[in-house]
Amino acid sequence: MIDRILDLITAKLVRVNGASMDPTLPNGSWVIVNRRAYSWPRKPARFDIVRFEDPSTPGRWLVKRVVGLPDEEVKFENGRLFVDGNVVFEPHIDGSGMAEIPSLHEWWPCTNEYVLLGDNRDASTDSRKFGTVPIGALRGRVTRRLR
């Protein structure tokens, strides 16, 4: 019973605005965010969907997917994700939000820094614009889509 009460206290209902997480979280979707998901010692895992404040626009909140973890070499080149030189299969990407425009982005996240990308890469403001994000900026993990 106490666990269920704590879950209610730590949960936040959030509406997704924009197409950056299509098709996983379409515009207008409601999601539940666990605000204590990354309380010490828990850390984000690859492909977690997280909520955080946009580092380039204070007061604007974003929902993106973790694709790069601390101390990894992360590269996004021509629509493909590489971690430590290996291609990473992204089961949540259907390819429809991937432009054919050649591009290269590289990150080397330090301890407690993460690379975050939207699933719909053509419509997403993410680490390609603002770089890595520290764990302290993450305000929760999306645990469920309601609609």
pLDDT digits (tens, 9 = 90+) for 35-72: 999 988 899 999 999 999 999 888 899 999 999 999 99
**Class of residue 90 by CB neighbours under 10 A (exposed 0-12, middle 13-18, buried 19+):** middle
Query: Which H/E stretch holds residue 106?
Result: strand 104-107
For residues 113 and 96, which has the higher predicted lDDT (pLDDT)? Answer: 113
**Six token digits for residue 36:** 């204590």
Verdict on whether the full-model pTM lies above 0.85:
yes
142's enclosing H/E stretch is: strand 138-145
- CATH code of the region 2-145: 2.10.109.10
Question: How many angstroms separate the most distant Cα atoms in the chain?
Answer: 53
Is residue 27 predicted with pLDDT exceeding 60?
yes
Q: Which residues sit opposite 82 in a β-bridge? A: 75, 87
Q: In angstroms, rounded to a whole number, what is the distance separating the alpha carbons of residues 140 and 129?
A: 21
